[in-house]
Amino acid sequence: MRILHTMIRVGDLDRSLDFYTGVLGMKLLRRKDYPEGKFTLAFVGYGDESGQAVIELTHNWGVESYDLGTGFGHVAIEVDDVYAACDEIKRRGGVVVREAGPMKGGSTVIAFVADPDGYKIELIGA
């Protein structure tokens, strides 16, 4: 068994794709419209789905935003240098919501960025 993907609902698919591909550097792996169901699925990630987990962006047509609730925490991405990654994300127009630095009570360097819908992405130093 392995994890295939994590699904999140997005209010504006193009805006989200710009963030995940343009700001975080992921690739659009596949995208498909489902007219009868009135939704579109887009899968993004850093590599082929056959070898690693990806993120499924679900856009329900006509829905512009979602209540994120309190159950979901974040998606984590490993980066070589958290400080440099934050600088690059800001340069590309992304929003850093917790600057790079050691995690509370530990020494692992982390940071958090927010996607256009408010989902948190944790950056963890390699």
Judge whether 43 and 54 are in contact, CB under 8 Å.
yes
Judge whether 58 and 39 are in contact, CB under 8 Å.
yes
Residues tagged active-site: 122
CATH architecture of 5-125: Roll (3.10)
Q: What pLDDT shows up at residue 71?
A: 82
Q: What pLDDT shows up at residue 28?
A: 98
This prediction has a pTM of 0.88
Tens digits of residue pLDDT in 68-111? 888 889 999 999 999 999 999 999 999 999 999 999 889 999 99
Angle at CA 40, nearest 5°, toward 92 and 67?
70
